[in-house]
Amino acid sequence: MESFSVVMVVLVALVVFTVFKGVRIVPQGYKWVVQRLGKYSQTLEPGLNLIIPYVDDVSYKVTTKDIVLDIPSQEVITRDNVVIIANAVAYINIIRPDKAVYGIEDYEYGIRNLVQTSLRSIIGEMDLDSALSSRDEIKMKLKHAISEDIADWGITLKTVEIQDINPSQTMQASMEEQAAAERLRRATVTRADGQKQAAILEADGRLEASRRDAEAQVVLAKGSEESIRLITAAMGTEEMPIVYLLGEQYIKAIRQLAESDNSKMVVLPADILSTVKGMVGDKLKV
Partner 1 sequence: MMETLWMIEPWHWLVLGFLLLIVEMFVPTFASLWFGAAAIIVAALTWLLPISISVQIIIWLLLSAIFLLAWFKFIKPLSVDRTKAGLGGSVIVGETGMIIVQPQADRAGMVRFSVPIVGAAEWMCRTRGEQVAVGDRVVVTDIIGNELIVSSMNSRTAVSQNTPV
Distance CA 173, CA 168 (A): 9
Query: Which are the contacts of 131, defined by CB distance < 8 A and separation ≥ 6?
Result: 78, 84, 123, 138, 165
Q: Is residue 13 a contact point for partner 1 (CB under 8 A)?
A: no
Among 10, 65, 189, 279, binds partner 1 (CB under 8 A): 65
Closest to partner 1 by CB, 47 vs 223, is: 47
Number of residues that bind partner 1 (CB under 8 A): 44
Site for partner 1 in 141-170 (CB under 8 A): 143-144, 146-152, 155-159
Q: Under the criterion CB under 8 A, does residue 3 sit at the interface with partner 1?
A: no
Answer whether 109's CB lies under 8 Å from 67's CB: no
When the beta carbons of 148 and 282 are compared against partner 1, the nearer one is 148
Residue (19 or 77) nearer to partner 1, CB:
19
Q: Among 81, 104, 107, 83, which residue's Cα sits nearest to residue 93?
A: 107
Stretch that binds partner 1, among 23-31, 76-84, 254-262, 276-284 (CB under 8 A): 23-31
Interatomic CA distance for residues 243 and 188, integer angstroms: 65
Can residue 89 be called a binding residue for partner 1 (CB under 8 A)? Answer: no
Site for partner 1 in 93-122 (CB under 8 A): 93-96
Residue from 3, 4, 268, 271 in contact with partner 1 (CB under 8 A): 4
Stretch that binds partner 1, among 139-147, 200-208, 238-246, 276-284 (CB under 8 A): 139-147
Is residue 140 near partner 1 by the rule CB under 8 A? no
| CB nearer partner 1, residue 50 or residue 280 | 50
What's the min distance (Å) between Cβ of 9 and partner 1? 8
Q: Which residues contact 158 (CB under 8 A, 6 or more apart)?
A: 66, 91, 92, 93
Of the pair 120, 143, the CB lying nearest partner 1 is at: 143
Residue 192 Cα to chain centre, angstroms: 25
Smallest separation, CB 137 to partner 1 (Å): 16
Please name the helix (run of DSSP H) or strand (run of DSSP E) that holds residue 86, with its range, or none. Answer: strand 83-94
Which residues between 30 and 49 bind partner 1 (CB under 8 A)? 30-31, 46-48
CB of 88 within 8 A of CB of 113?
A: no
Integer Cα distance of 225 and 219 in angstroms? 10
CA dist 211 and 75 (Å) reads 70
Rounded-to-10 torsion of CA 111, 114, 119, 124? 180
| CB contact at 8 A, 84 and 172 | no
What is the nearest approach in angstroms of partner 1 to the Cβ of residue 192? 53
Please report whether residue 173 would count as binding partner 1 according to CB under 8 A.
Answer: no
Distance CA 104, CA 126 (A): 31
Residues near partner 1, by CB under 8 A:
1-2, 4-5, 8, 11-12, 15-16, 19-20, 22-25, 28-31, 46-48, 50, 64-65, 91, 93-96, 143-144, 146-152, 155-159
